[in-house]
């Protein structure tokens, strides 16, 4: 006859083996995913079989907490396992499938991710997909006051000549520097550096000036001397690479190290401004259940900004879980022993102090 204690022990052992098997399987899948690339992994780890895997892992963790008194009795062990449960639950809740579930259960209109393209001096409230299909309209709008790029100016940039076969030649972006990209190509000479190139018209004549105090539009004035002796002057802009196409075989780029991309926006409800923020890399705007990130901009004329948007659903659970996991690990593997070490007089310490 099987005693209850024996069967409970067998269940615990089975849970441990199952945990070990799932950990090994996930490690193998991670390595496989690393070889296949981020796009494939994103799809694969969100596919229905993997959703089942994440659910199984969550259930296993809950079962382990219930089955092992040690996991409930020791703060560190409980915190790390509970942390994993919260993390997995938050990740499932905030995933594409989680958003679909919330839509069918509660009629939620939130989308997990998307983009917003806002013209300078204009506002928008529609989240669009990567191919610019409208996904959802927000109950508020974002008004773009200004978009700008800041550069490092303490080191010279590079003038890059890219040929049709994708080969590249570089020159330091300093006046007087010369570059010959290839035998049938023009000789390139850098004439002048601009921190903020501005074009104005005076009596119908184009006047080009550098106004570093008023903004940033770094550019190079170059002289192209073709093999037949013809010479012409051109401008190459750091912010607008589209202007760098000289012909089908040659593209010039002024590469200057970017310090930051900034979109100055206002959150508006009707005519009322609710919030004002400069969205930068590492400083997203959090409003209305979404995070708005600086993602890209108009490469041709710099007239609009592109913000990427992600839903905040599940994030609090995920980060609470992560913090709990770390607190549990540090308590269980570090602090417990540190306290014992500090409390015990040094003369009575042994090499087996850590209960290996």
Partner 1 sequence: MAIKYTIQGFLIYMAMAGYLLAFFLRLAGRAKIAWPLYGIGFALAVFAFVYRWLHVAHIPMQNLFEVFLLMGVLLFPLSLFCRNILCVGAEGADMLIGIVILIPAGFFFAAQPQQLPPALQCWLFAPHVAVYMISYVLMAKAAVQASALLILNTSPNARLCDYESGAYRMVCLGFPLMSLGLLLGSWWGHLAWGDYWGWDPKELWSLAAWLIYLGYLHFRYLFGKKYPRLNCLWVIAGLIAVIITLLWVNLSNLFAGLHSYAA
Question: DSSP string spanning 233-287?
Answer: EEEEESS-GGGGEEETTEEEEEE--EEEEEEEEEEEETTEEEEEEEEETTB-EEE
Three-class DSSP labels, 89-120: HHHHHHCHHHHHHHHHHHCCCCCCEEEEEEEC
Which residues does residue 144 pair with via DSSP β-bridges, in sequence order? 265
Name the one range near partner 1 by CB under 8 A: 100-108, 185-193, 236-244, 259-267: 259-267
Q: Which one of residues 169, 261, 278, 288 is an interface residue with partner 1 (CB under 8 A)? A: 261
Selected range binding partner 1 among 166-174, 218-226, 230-238, 319-327, rule: CB under 8 A: 319-327
State yes or no: residue 8 binds partner 1 (CB under 8 A).
no
86 near partner 1 (CB under 8 A) = no
CB of 315 to partner 1, least distance (A): 7
Q: Using the rule CB under 8 A, which residue among 177, 223, 260, 264 binds partner 1? A: 260
Contact 135, 111 (CB under 8 A): yes
Q: Is 37 left (phi over 0), alpha (psi -120 to 50) or beta?
A: left
Residues in contact with partner 1, shown as a per-residue x/- string from 12 to 41 under the rule CB under 8 A:
-x--xx-xx--xx-xx--xx-xxx-xx--x
Shortest spacing between CB 52 and partner 1, in angstroms? 18
Specify the residue, 93 or 198, whose C-beta has the smaller distance to partner 1: 93
For residue 13, the minimal CB distance to partner 1 (Å) is 8
Instruction: For residues 57 and 19, give the distance between their C-alpha atoms in angstroms, rounded to a whole number.
Output: 8
* Contact status: 241 vs partner 1 (CB under 8 A): no
Distance in angstroms (rounded) separating the CA atoms of residues 179 and 169: 8
Q: What is the CA radius of gyration of the chain?
A: 30
Asked if 318 interacts with partner 1 (CB under 8 A), we say: yes
CA dihedral 313, 316, 317, 319 (to 10 degrees): 130
Q: Please, which residues bridge with residue 143 across strands?
A: 123, 266
Q: For partner 1, which is the closer residue by CB, 115 or 235?
A: 115
**Could you say which residues in the range 44-73 bind partner 1, by CB under 8 A?**
45
The distance in angstroms from the start CA to the end CA of the chain is 36
**348 contact partners, CB below 8 Å, separation of at least 6:** none
| Beta carbon nearer to partner 1, 245 or 354 | 354
Q: Using CB atoms within 10 A of its CB, is residue 249 exposed (0-12), middle (13-18) or buried (19+)?
A: middle
> Between 198 and 237, how does the x/- string for binding to partner 1 read (CB under 8 A)?
----------------------------------------
CB of 153 to partner 1, least distance (A): 10
Give the closest residue to 113 by CA, choosing from 142, 85, 141, 135. 135
Considering only residues 287 through 316, tell me which ones interact with partner 1, judged by CB under 8 A: 291, 293, 295, 308-310, 315
Cα dihedral 33, 39, 43, 45 sign: positive
Residues that bind partner 1 (CB under 8 A): 13, 16-17, 19-20, 23-24, 26-27, 30-31, 33-35, 37-38, 41-42, 45, 91, 113, 152, 155, 257-261, 280-284, 291, 293, 295, 308-310, 315, 318-319, 322-323, 325-326, 329-330, 333-334, 341, 351-354, 356
């Amino acid at each position: 006859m099987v005693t209850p204690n024996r069967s409970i022990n067998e269940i615990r052992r089975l849970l441990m083996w199952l945990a070990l098997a799932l950990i090994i399987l996930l490690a193998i899948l991670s390595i496989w995913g690393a070889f296949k690339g981020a796009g494939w992994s994103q799809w694969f780890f969100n596919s229905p079989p993997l959703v089942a895997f994440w659910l199984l892992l969550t259930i296993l963790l809950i079962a382990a907490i219930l089955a092992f008194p040690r996991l409930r009795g020791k703060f560190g062990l409980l915190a790390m396992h509970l942390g994993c449960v919260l993390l997995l639950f938050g990740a499932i809740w905030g995933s594409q499938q989680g958003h679909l579930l919330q839509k069918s259960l509660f009629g939620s209109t939130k989308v997990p991710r998307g983009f917003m393209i806002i013209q300078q001096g204009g506002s928008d409230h529609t989240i669009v997909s990567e191919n610019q299909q409208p996904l959802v309209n927000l109950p508020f709008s974002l008004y773009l006051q200004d978009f700008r790029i800041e550069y490092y100016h303490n080191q010279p940039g590079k003038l890059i000549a890219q040929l049709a076969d994708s080969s590249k030649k570089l020159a330091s972006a300093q006046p007087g520097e010369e570059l010959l990209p290839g035998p049938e190509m023009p000789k390139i000479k850098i004439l002048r550096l601009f921190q903020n190139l501005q074009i104005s018209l005076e009596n119908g004549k184009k006047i080009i000036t550098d106004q570093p105090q008023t903004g940033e539009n770094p550019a190079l004035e170059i002289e192209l001397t073709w093999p037949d002796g013809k010479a012409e002057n051109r401008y190459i802009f750091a912010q607008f690479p589209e202007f760098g196409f000289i012909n089908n075989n040659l593209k010039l780029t002024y590469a200057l190290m970017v310090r930051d991309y900034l979109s100055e926006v206002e959150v508006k409800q009707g005519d009322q401004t609710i919030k004002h923020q400069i969205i930068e890399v590492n400083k997203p705007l959090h409003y209305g259940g979404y995070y708005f990130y600086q993602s890209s901009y108009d490469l041709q004329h710099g007239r609009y900004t592109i913000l990427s948007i992600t839903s905040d659903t599940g994030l609090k659970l995920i980060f609470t879980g992560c913090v709990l996991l770390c607190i549990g690990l540090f308590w269980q593997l570090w602090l417990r022993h540190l306290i014992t070490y500090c409390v015990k007089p040094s003369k009575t310490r042994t090499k087996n102090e850590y209960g290996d």
